[in-house]
Amino acid sequence: MRSTMQEGQLTLSRLVDYSRRVFADTTVSTWNGAELETVTFGQIGDRAAQFAHALAKLGVAPGDRVATFLWNNDAHQVAYGAVPAMGAVLHTINLRISAEQAVYVIRHADDKVIVVDATVAPMLARYMASTPNVEHVIVANGPASAFDAPAGVTVHQLDELIAGEPTSYAWPELSERAAAAMCYTSGTTGDPKGVVYSHRSCWLHAMQVCMRSGMGLAQGDSVLAVVPMFHAMSWGIPYAAMMAGAALVMPGRFLQPEPLLAMMAAGRPTFAAAVPSIWQGVSAQLDVVPQDISHLRAIFVGGSAVPHAMIRKFDGYRAPITHGWGMTETSPLGSVAHPPAGLDDERAFGYRVTQGRILPAMEARLIGEDGSEQPWDGDSVGELEVRGPWVTGAYYSPDGAVADDSKFHDGWLRTGDVAHITSDGYLTLVDRTKDLIKTGGEWISSVELENLVMSSPAVIEAAVVAVPDEKWGERPFVLAVVKDPADRDARKHRAFLAATLPRWQLPERWAFVEEVPKTSVGKFNKMAIRASYAEGAYEVVEARD
């Protein structure tokens, strides 16, 4: 039997128009290092239309990729609106990936246009020799001269480019299944993998963010979105804010504790979102210079597990932490740790430290080592697999070939996380199937790092494992065997890596041994290495800049 309901496509142009009209006065503020510079959703809507006209003049057609190389700021919010609404695809490039990875994703996504913050324009300019697909670079928050254009790339200045363009645009009618945005994850070994969000998945996810089981964003909220707009769509906040009429407070490039606390004092946000390492820093700063942050009705924390002590500390600030779990592949919200109603504080705490309750639209299952589905009993562990309307079913492949099918299992996404789930749906991650290092919300592949360390002629073999770090959650620890005792010099090896890796990936902790422990089949025994490290069995050398 057929329903009589209208087709009702969930397309993001609707959010641009809606927020511009009914939340015309709601503010979007960006920290400039000294104060908040404020525009409104009305102005964002005007600029989105102008930007779409400008992009169309540059030849951007439906389906074309328009990339951003931007911090969280109002220009980025304009791009979030304009690019999908006009039918193009917003590719948010992570500012923190290596040059090699950046070149890879720009080529792989076949970006035609890149919008770049003036502050990072020199970095982008260095990639351009290797990215012939890029035709236009648009500099935001600074002059066009900030970008040293190679031949074949036309440079524009954002404000100049859109000036004079009409402030309305006849957005095309799109299928809600059309691509809206893409984000690459470097969470696995090998090349980064692209996830292509649809209008539908962005829209449904934004509704979940506005539901009380999500972040409960609503008009009257003011959201400090520290989580980068280049990382998993800033956890859905940009679209949810447009849907709900929540004001935005954007940190720009100022992600250190002092400016974050300054912008909190200035903007008095009611809600904030960032990875644990950010809050670790904020808390350390609050120990030095106390400040009332109780204007935050909630702090949403994800990206890696929140230490229990941090939750208690922020409870003390009357700015309670809500813990959540997700991945770039899951848009990202998969579970949120709102405790069941009616519990006393201590019992509720037991729920708040989990990765959270699986959300209604998200299906989850645990697959044991023998391939069988494990019960939700709060005890049985298995690899977490998920599916749902905002979960990716594949990685992007320009030629339609299947990319890394090993991550999917009968239509479910294999998360690579080993977990258990309680009977009432609360997820706890206990380990990872692969030995990735999660540091400050970003991934380092231990395998890649090992390979790089071992690429030095001085090194015989080297294993890398994740070790706990108060500030970053995890950091890499390198256990190396060198040829010459004179090469037991951590600073030297670190300098070797610095030629290839971004600074945040460089390991600080090193130990030199005669042999790396191995399993019976000759693989590095990482469990044993982690255990020995924890016991203090290694003579650890610290190398920092």
- Which residue among 329, 383, 385, 442 is the active-site one? 329
Site for a copy of itself in 134-193 (CB under 8 A): 177-180
**Is residue 198 within the footprint of a copy of itself (CB under 8 A)?**
yes
Dihedral-angle region of residue 442 (phi above 0 means left; psi in -120 to 50 means alpha; beta otherwise): beta
Please state, in angstroms and rounded to a whole number, the distance separating the CA atoms of residues 349 and 194.
36
- Which residue among 443, 448, 450, 472 is the active-site one? 443
Going through 15-105 in order, the beta strands assigned E by DSSP cover 27-31, 36-40, 65-69, 89-92
Instruction: Choose among 335, 340, 299: nearest CA to 429.
Output: 335
Least distance in angstroms from the C-beta of 80 to a copy of itself: 16
Q: Which is nearer to a copy of itself, 145 or 219 (CB)?
A: 219
Cβ atoms of residues 278 and 260 within 8 Å: yes
Q: Which is nearer to a copy of itself, 11 or 157 (CB)?
A: 11
Going through 423-527 in order, the beta strands assigned E by DSSP cover 426-432, 436-439, 442-445, 459-469, 473-482, 509-512
Q: Of 271, 390, 472, 512, which one interacts with a copy of itself (CB under 8 A)?
A: 390
- Strands 442-445 and 436-439, by their bridges, are antiparallel
Instruction: Choose among 69, 73, 71, 68: nearest CA to 36.
Output: 73
Least distance in angstroms from the C-beta of 127 to a copy of itself: 22
Q: How far is CA 230 from CA 182, 189, 289, 354, 455, in A?
A: 10, 20, 31, 26, 31
Please state, in angstroms and rounded to a whole number, the distance separating the CA atoms of residues 68 and 90.
7
Least distance in angstroms from the C-beta of 51 to a copy of itself: 19
Q: Of 47, 357, 493, 526, which one interacts with a copy of itself (CB under 8 A)?
A: 357
- Is 439 assigned a catalytic role? no
Tell me the per-residue interface mask from 283 to 322 with a copy of itself, x by CB under 8 A, - otherwise: ----------------------------------------
Least distance in angstroms from the C-beta of 392 to a copy of itself: 5
- Strands 271-274 and 222-225, by their bridges, are parallel
Least distance in angstroms from the C-beta of 25 to a copy of itself: 8
Q: Which is nearer to a copy of itself, 260 or 394 (CB)?
A: 394
Site for a copy of itself in 199-238 (CB under 8 A): 200-201, 204, 207-208, 210-213, 216-220
Q: Which is nearer to a copy of itself, 236 or 245 (CB)?
A: 245
Least distance in angstroms from the C-beta of 362 to a copy of itself: 9
Q: For the chain, state the CA radius of gyration.
A: 23
- Interface with a copy of itself by CB under 8 A: which range of 130-138, 392-400, 461-469, 486-494? 392-400
What is the secondary structure of 398-436 as a DSSP string?
TTSPPP-GGGEETTEEEEEEEEEE-TT-EEEEEEESS-E
**DSSP code of 524?**
B
Cβ atoms of residues 91 and 109 within 8 Å: yes
**DSSP code of 518?**
B
Q: How far is CA 23 from CA 18, 222, 244, 247, in A?
A: 8, 13, 9, 9
Q: Of 150, 389, 502, 517, which one interacts with a copy of itself (CB under 8 A)?
A: 389
Cβ atoms of residues 106 and 114 within 8 Å: yes
**Is residue 196 within the footprint of a copy of itself (CB under 8 A)?**
yes
- Is 173 assigned a catalytic role? no
- Which residue among 438, 442, 448, 474 is the active-site one? 438
User: Which residues, including other chains, have CB under 8 Å from residue 299's CB and lie 6 or more apart?
Assistant: 271, 272, 273, 274, 279, 314, 319, 320, 321, 322
By CB under 8 A, the count of residues binding a copy of itself is: 72
**Is residue 126 within the footprint of a copy of itself (CB under 8 A)?**
no
- Is 329 assigned a catalytic role? yes
**Is residue 6 within the footprint of a copy of itself (CB under 8 A)?**
yes
Site for a copy of itself in 43-72 (CB under 8 A): 63, 65
**Is residue 363 within the footprint of a copy of itself (CB under 8 A)?**
yes
Q: Of 98, 107, 135, 396, which one interacts with a copy of itself (CB under 8 A)?
A: 396
Least distance in angstroms from the C-beta of 49 to a copy of itself: 18
Tell me the per-residue interface mask from 364 to 383 with a copy of itself, x by CB under 8 A, - otherwise: ------------x-------
- Interface with a copy of itself by CB under 8 A: which range of 164-172, 391-399, 442-450, 514-522? 391-399
Q: Of 79, 85, 89, 114, which one interacts with a copy of itself (CB under 8 A)?
A: 89
User: Which residues, including other chains, have CB under 8 Å from residue 371's CB and lie 6 or more apart?
Assistant: none
Q: Which helix (H) or strand (E) holds 47?
A: helix 41-57
- Which residue among 185, 188, 392, 415 is the active-site one? 185
Q: How many angstroms separate the first and last alpha carbons of the chain?
A: 68
Least distance in angstroms from the C-beta of 493 to a copy of itself: 38
Q: Which is nearer to a copy of itself, 288 or 341 (CB)?
A: 341
- Is 26 assigned a catalytic role? no
Please state, in angstroms and rounded to a whole number, the distance separating the CA atoms of residues 504 and 148.
26
Cβ atoms of residues 53 and 162 within 8 Å: yes
Query: Helix 74-85 and helix 41-57: axis angle, to 10°?
Result: 60
Q: Of 86, 95, 391, 464, which one interacts with a copy of itself (CB under 8 A)?
A: 391
Q: φ, ψ for residue 269 (rounded to 5)?
A: -65, 155
Q: Which is nearer to a copy of itself, 384 or 437 (CB)?
A: 384
Least distance in angstroms from the C-beta of 404 to a copy of itself: 12
Q: Which is nearer to a copy of itself, 407 or 475 (CB)?
A: 407
Q: Per the structure block, which two tokens stand in for 50?
A: 């102008």
Q: Of 158, 321, 394, 429, which one interacts with a copy of itself (CB under 8 A)?
A: 394
**Is residue 251 within the footprint of a copy of itself (CB under 8 A)?**
no
* Residues carrying an active site annotation: 185, 329, 438, 443
